[in-house]
């Protein structure tokens, strides 16, 4: 925390609302990506431009995005089935972990599809691979490293 900043601890209700809202914020983007992934399979270019191995990569990307969708929607199902009339710190912890766990398969699925799009448009496996690896690096920096740096700086200022 920076000097002069006040931090207010949220009530369990407010914390639950925040984590469920974060999940709801991510879902539409995942659903849109999933829809585009499914549509791609039915285009003629999908079979003409991509090798069988690359089509299998696309299937892997679809499976990874599906896993991400399941993980990010799980907190709502968990809450409805285990604590429909209450909230708990346990629910918030589990929901936060599920949301964070969804980010890895989502990032990898996106990177696989970006690789395939780059390979189909550029034609070069090495350039497409470089683009996908750089994109994965962007995900790692902004979804993993930046939050840790911010958290460590805040805890160091206490």
Q: d(Cα 60, Cα 50) in Å, to the nearest integer?
A: 14
Residue-range definition of the domain harbouring residue 78: 12-156
Number of domains in the chain: 1
| Within a domain: 4 | no
The residues, any chain, with a CB within 8 Å of residue 58's CB and separated by 6 or more, are: 37, 40, 41, 46, 50, 112, 113, 116
Question: Residues 129-146: pLDDT tens digits?
Answer: 999 999 999 999 999 999
pLDDT tens string 23-52: 788 888 888 888 888 888 888 878 888 889
The pTM (predicted TM-score) of the whole model is 0.83
Residue 139 falls within a domain, yes or no?
yes
């Amino acid at each position: 925390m920076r000097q002069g900043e006040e931090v207010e601890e949220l009530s369990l209700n407010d914390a639950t609302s925040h984590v469920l809202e974060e999940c709801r914020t991510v879902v539409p983007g995942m659903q849109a990506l999933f829809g585009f992934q499914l549509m791609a399979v039915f285009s003629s270019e999908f079979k003409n431009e991509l090798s069988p191995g690359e089509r299998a990569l696309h299937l892997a990307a679809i499976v990874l995005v599906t896993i991400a969708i399941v993980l990010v929607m799980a907190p709502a199902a968990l809450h409805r089935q285990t604590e429909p009339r209450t909230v708990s710190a346990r629910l918030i912890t589990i929901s936060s972990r599920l949301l964070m766990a969804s980010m890895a398969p989502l990032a990898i699925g996106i990177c696989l599809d970006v690789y395939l799009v780059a390979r189909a448009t550029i034609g070069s496996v090495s350039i497409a691979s470089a683009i996908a690896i750089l994109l994965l690096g962007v995900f790692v920096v902004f979804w993993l490293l930046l939050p840790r740096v911010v958290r460590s700086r805040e805890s160091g200022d206490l």
